[in-house]
Structure 1
Amino acid sequence: MNPHILIIGAGFAGVWSALSAARLLDQAQRGDVTVSVLAPQPELRIRPRFYESDVHGMKAPLGALFEAVGVTFIQGHADTIDVDGRSVGYTDNHGQRQRIGYDRLVLAAGSQVARPAVPGLAEHAFDVDQMESAMRLERHLVDLAALPASPARNTVVVCGGGFTGIETATELPARLRAILGNDAAPRVIVVDRGASIGAALGAGITPAIVAACEQAGVEWLAGTSVMGIDAGGVTLDNGDYIASKTVIWTVGVKASPLTAQVPGERDALGRLRVDEHLKVIGQAHIYATGDVAWAAVDERGNHALMTCQHAIPMGRHSGNNVAADLLGVAPVVYRQPKYVTCLDLGDWGAAFSEGWERELKLQGQEGKALKRQINSVWIYPPAADRAQALAAADPLIPIV
């Protein structure tokens, strides 16, 4: 039976793992090794854009791309990992239980929004974490137009003032005006535990966040937490109640629960600790990449974040290294010392920063042009051309 590399997940890290593994096998002329991707659908969902409208179109089909590079796609939901038996259990697209073996495994199962035990959160809050939940929010926003005008109808509460919360909140006023009309006077409120506006993103880009929120009319309740959510709104930790038909939860993420089935050290987000080659420490045959990997990006103590900025290069490295491991050739070290952010800020524009201290480099419409380029071109997979796709998967491509 052919040696088998199995990759769980078709997000950014999973897709680039598959392409990079295929690249090294192609260079070694090893057509006897099978590379498979196990995921719910043969498409890369562009998750960083789920705060926008028209979410249903934010995906890239993978069938032709995988066929071009010789990667097998298996449609299903993975739910069990047998580390000792080197196999993965999953439910296929017909609802049938299946099991598949592997010689090497790449866990690229991604992350999900953290849902703490806040009363009413599960029943009444929306999120932009997955395509289905973002589409549910979009349908809800459209349906608001059929309700009588009221403060609750016109008010959206965004819980969390981190990256996702800010991008969601600053996009909402224009989305709401398009749905409710220019006379509706929509109100968007960010509730955040941080001591000040944009505290989670540092002082460098805070002025841009403040300016964008002032222009859009986005309000902040800093140093505040949501204690409960019901059908009519939210209760805050100071006892205040905000009437709202739309509460969006963006507070934190955690690694896929599949990580719990792999013995190893984890961080507070549930990510598996990996070595410099992205192999899970203590495991001989399992690699972790993207949002499930607790990986050092430099020698200064910084670690990869749960973003496509890190997931794409990590995928290039993990795919190369899992194939290298199987072939018995030298792996490459994952390091990504350059860190940038590009924060969308609605009609005001965007803020682009460099370094872990987030030094502001571009803002306003100049920053927005870069953000559009990132969101619409840079993070999408390559065309279904074998030579082009394999070349793009080189882990030694400079990271800029």
Structure 2
Amino acid sequence: MRLVIIGAGFAGMYAAARLRDINGASPEELEIALVAPEPALVVRPRLYEPKPETLTAPLVDVLKAIDVVYVQGSAETVNTKSRMVEIFSAKGAKKNLSYDRLVSTIAPDMGAGPRLLIEDALNKLGVETRLGAGVAALDKSGVTLSDGERIEAETVIWAAGIRAAPLTAQIPAERDNFGRLLVDRDLRVPGVAGVFATGDAARAACDDLGNYAPMSCQHATRMGAFAGHNAAAELLGVPAKPYHQKAYVTCLDLGEAGALFMRGWKRKVEMVGDVAKKTKQEINTVWIYRPRAERAAALASADPERVTDL
């Protein structure tokens, strides 16, 4: 049996680690293949820092430690009827990879509570804001806002959020406005046999209160562990574990103004300034970093009930 994971992000990494720990399945009994352009985890929450090209964590040793096969390339097409993934290398070489189960892993509103703190920090840093207006047009000399205001600029940084990878559109299932596949509590894609979605590729309920996982590393890691468990469990005939995630924290780096640490869906402020800044640095360098390249440590890190246990 072969289980294919598309993507080496936070969800893909933890899905791979969890898969190998299910029911003691050997590599001969259950082959796990991870498809990605490079065998590295891009630590996306740190890309605002200097030298973003260095902010990756190698995964080759971790994958070897847990007997996961790395397949270099980009998944271009998915055929859910024939259960086949078409992969292209950087040089254009094509490869088809069959699967028995597939796991696709391909700036929130902060709310009223912390908004005054954020606005105060921006003011201290000399950052002007335009609230209640959107971008109507963008050209080589600046931006025109929806209220008619014109802002001349030589450089424009677009930070309007993210969407699921276009590959999700090839899976014949319902998606939300961000392109994420709708999944059930076991992270299966309803109506598409053998396919699970997780991380940024999935719109998953965190609880029974109407909260859905945002596109964040803390949700991707835990979702990946649950998706990995359930995909393998379905093949090996062991019980699935419904995904759930009650805890949720948001830590916002404010540059020279420090940071802001909030907890819960209503984003209750718990820490500000230098204390929050230190916590943010620990999150970026310890909490979300890949597990050690040791089999026992890597497998233990992907226990669904413990991942991102805040």
Aligned-pair identity in percent equals 45
| 1:270 Cα deviation after fit | 1.4
Q: Does 1:89 align with 2:86?
A: yes
| 1:243 Cα deviation after fit | 2.0
Residue matched to 2:285: 376
Pick which of 363-372 and 224-233 moved more. 224-233
| 1:70 Cα deviation after fit | 0.4
Residue matched to 1:108: 105
Residue matched to 2:244: 335
1:11-22 paired onto structure 2 within 5 Å: 11-22=9-20
| 1:281 Cα deviation after fit | 1.2
Checking the alignment, whether the CA contact within 8 Å between 2:83 and 2:98 is kept in structure 1 is yes
CA distance in 1: counterparts of 2:263 and 2:220, whole angstroms: 18
1:231 to 101, 117, 140: 140
Q: Does 1:42 align with 2:30?
A: no
Aligned AA for 1:241? R
Pick which of 340-349 and 235-244 moved more. 235-244
CA distance in 2: counterparts of 1:28 and 1:43, whole angstroms: 25
Q: Does 1:301 align with 2:298?
A: no
Checking the alignment, whether the CA contact within 8 Å between 2:27 and 2:67 is kept in structure 1 is no
Residue matched to 2:163: 254
1:147-166 paired onto structure 2 within 5 Å: 162-163=107-108
Residue matched to 1:60: 57
Aligned AA for 2:90? N
Residue matched to 2:71: 74
CA distance in 2: counterparts of 1:81 and 1:237, whole angstroms: 39
Residue matched to 1:23: 21
Structure 1: tracts of 5 or more residues without a match: 110-161, 164-199
Instruction: Give the match's secondary structure for 1:248.
Output: coil
1:9 to 7, 10, 24: 7
Deviations 1:5-57 (A, max 9, x none): 000000000111011101215x2456421100001111000111112221011
Instruction: Give the match's secondary structure for 1:282.
Output: coil
Deviations 1:294-320 (A, max 9, x none): 111011011100000100000111111
Aligned AA for 1:368? K
CA distance in 2: counterparts of 1:94 and 1:32, whole angstroms: 32
How many residues are treated as equivalent by the alignment? Answer: 309
Pick which of 232-241 and 70-79 moved more. 232-241
Aligned AA for 2:13? V
Aligned AA for 1:238? D
CA distance in 1: counterparts of 2:303 and 2:175, whole angstroms: 28
Checking the alignment, whether the CA contact within 8 Å between 2:205 and 2:212 is kept in structure 1 is yes
TM-score, normalised relative to structure 2? 0.96
RMSD (Å), alpha carbons: 1.3
| 1:356 Cα deviation after fit | 0.8
Residue matched to 1:313: 222
Residue matched to 1:167: none
| 1:72 Cα deviation after fit | 0.5
CA distance in 1: counterparts of 2:160 and 2:245, whole angstroms: 26
Residue matched to 1:216: 125
CA distance in 2: counterparts of 1:262 and 1:284, whole angstroms: 11
Q: Does 1:51 align with 2:48?
A: yes
| 1:227 Cα deviation after fit | 2.0
Aligned AA for 2:95? Q
Aligned AA for 1:220? T
Aligned AA for 1:251? A
Aligned AA for 2:273? G
Larger radius of gyration: 1
CA distance in 1: counterparts of 2:110 and 2:237, whole angstroms: 42
Q: Which of the pair is proportionally richer in helix?
A: 1
CA distance in 2: counterparts of 1:308 and 1:273, whole angstroms: 19
Counterparts in 2 of 1:30 and 1:230: CA distance versus 1, 3 Å: closer
Structure 2: tracts of 5 or more residues without a match: none
| 1:354 Cα deviation after fit | 1.1
Instruction: Give the match's secondary structure for 1:249.
Output: coil
Residue matched to 2:152: 243
Aligned AA for 1:14? G
